[in-house]
Amino acid sequence: MELLEICQRAKSVKYEVQKLGTEDKNRALFKVAECLESEAKYILDANSKDYENGLKNGMHQGMLDRLKLDEKRIEAMAEGVRQVAGLEDPIGTVIENFERPNGLKISKVRVPFGVIGIIYESRPNVTADAFSLTFKSGNAVILKGGSDAINSNIAITRVIRDALSSEGINPDAVQLIEDTDRSVTQKFMQMKEYVDVLIPRGSERLIRAVVENSTIPVIETGTGNCHIYVDKDADLKKAIPIIINAKTQRIGVCNAVESLVVHESVKDEFLPLFDKAMKEYNVEIRADKASREILTDSALATDEDFGKEYLDYIISVKTVSDVSEAIDHINKYNTGHSESIITENEETARKFLNEVDAACVYVNASTRFTDGFEFGFGAEIGISTQKLHARGPMGLKELTSYKYEIIGTGQIRG
């Protein structure tokens, strides 16, 4: 199908999706989950083609891993869809109610965006995931997945669409752009007349390309160059497990810590403990001049190190003379994602919370908690690092807009 027809269909189906009641949406989601499981063989066959093509084309091992599906991953996909069915429906909630002196009654009501576009890379599980979240929040969705996973995505989308049809729901609620030509993606980003919001999910490169080329409003789900600052009043016993967790629990994620900032007055006591812990977990340290007096076998950190999201077993270290210098350093290099201070001093903690410019600012906790599930949203479409619309973990509510309903009795403006 042509891109234009896909967009027109999405625009015309959005009113139907918007009108669906919570029970209808949930029933459809359970049906989709069931069909994903019963059609597992069909999906796995398609996935094998993608996997073999990937092997043939010399795809990187990490990417092959993300691409590969198996029975267990399909079950997890189905389970994810069921969980979304269990979440509260955000649509129709009255956010605010007020009456004007002229008698106009104004309600601010939560409504779907309409049509959401999602551009992602080669993880086929995003297909089911993105569908369930956009559908439950009353939106129609147009998916544009990576060409490496095209057979898997076609199969998964077909299963979802058939499941919707069997429940009497218009299957155009979810559509996949099957044309893998780059020029089609470019054109998709210009379909402002049809698509209300575009969400890119994937690498920094993908996100940058979308931000630079889209005329549709974009929610940026960005990179995380996250810091932990160990203050002079830190409880050092708390600091070590938090840093180990934030650095090593999962290295390839945006909420992993990439840089330690340490107050000079605790560095003599703290850095040997830190050095020992990092060695134990095979983490390479890149230290500034002052901290290298203790971290003697570390490489010297360059300016480039401080600006880098390693996504690897590497951490940089910066020494500061007070919390203000720590905040300035973080605000210079961070990506607006997650930042943490370790301190027992409430005043210092408050200053850090107020002045650090990031979606999530922590006191005495791991940056790894920046996540829709950990925040209790029950789901997550991504972590926003921009300030427009949504910041931090985005759940169902963040996939909605609002409208004003104004009830009058004949009022005119004077």
The nearest distance, CB 66 to a copy of itself, in angstroms, is 21
CA distances from 306 to 80, 279, 309, 311 (A): 36, 20, 9, 13
Cβ closer to a copy of itself: 135 or 377?
A: 377
Nearest to 359 by CA among 378, 373, 340, 344: 340
Q: What residue ranges bind a copy of itself (CB under 8 A)?
A: 15, 18-19, 98, 100, 104, 106, 113-114, 192, 196-197, 211-212, 215, 217-220, 235, 238, 241-242, 244-246, 249, 331, 349, 353-355, 357-366, 368-370, 374-376, 386-389, 391-392, 401-413
**Distances 81 to 21, 78, 91, 160 between C-alpha atoms, Å:** 17, 5, 18, 11
Neighbours of 215 (CB within 10 A): 12
Residue 156 C-beta: closest distance to a copy of itself, Å:
27
Nearer to a copy of itself, 191 or 287 (CB): 191
Between 271 and 356, CB nearer to a copy of itself: 356
- Specify the 3-state DSSP secondary structure of 307: coil
Report the nearest approach of a copy of itself to the CB of residue 61 (Å): 25
**b/e sequence 8-44, b meaning 16+ C-beta within 10 Å:** ebbbebbeebbebeeeebbbbbbbbbebbbebbeebb
Which class for 169: exposed (0-12), middle (13-18), buried (19 or more C-beta within 10 A)?
buried
Closest separation in Å from C-beta 307 to a copy of itself: 12
Residue (156 or 349) nearer to a copy of itself, CB: 349
How far, in whole angstroms, is CA 204 from its chain's centroid?
12
Nearer to a copy of itself, 293 or 374 (CB): 374
Smallest gap from Cβ 376 to a copy of itself, in A, equals 6
Note the residue count of the chain. Answer: 414
Decide whether 51 or 135 has the Cβ nearer to a copy of itself. Answer: 135
Backbone φ and ψ for 295, nearest 5 degrees, come out as: -85, 65
What's the distance, Cα to Cα, between the start and end of the chain in Å?
52
Q: At its nearest, how many Å lie between a copy of itself and the CB of residue 231?
A: 14
Nearer to a copy of itself, 283 or 359 (CB): 359
* Rounded least distance, CB 414 to a copy of itself, Å: 9
Q: State the DSSP string of 335-347.
A: -SSEEEEE-S-HH
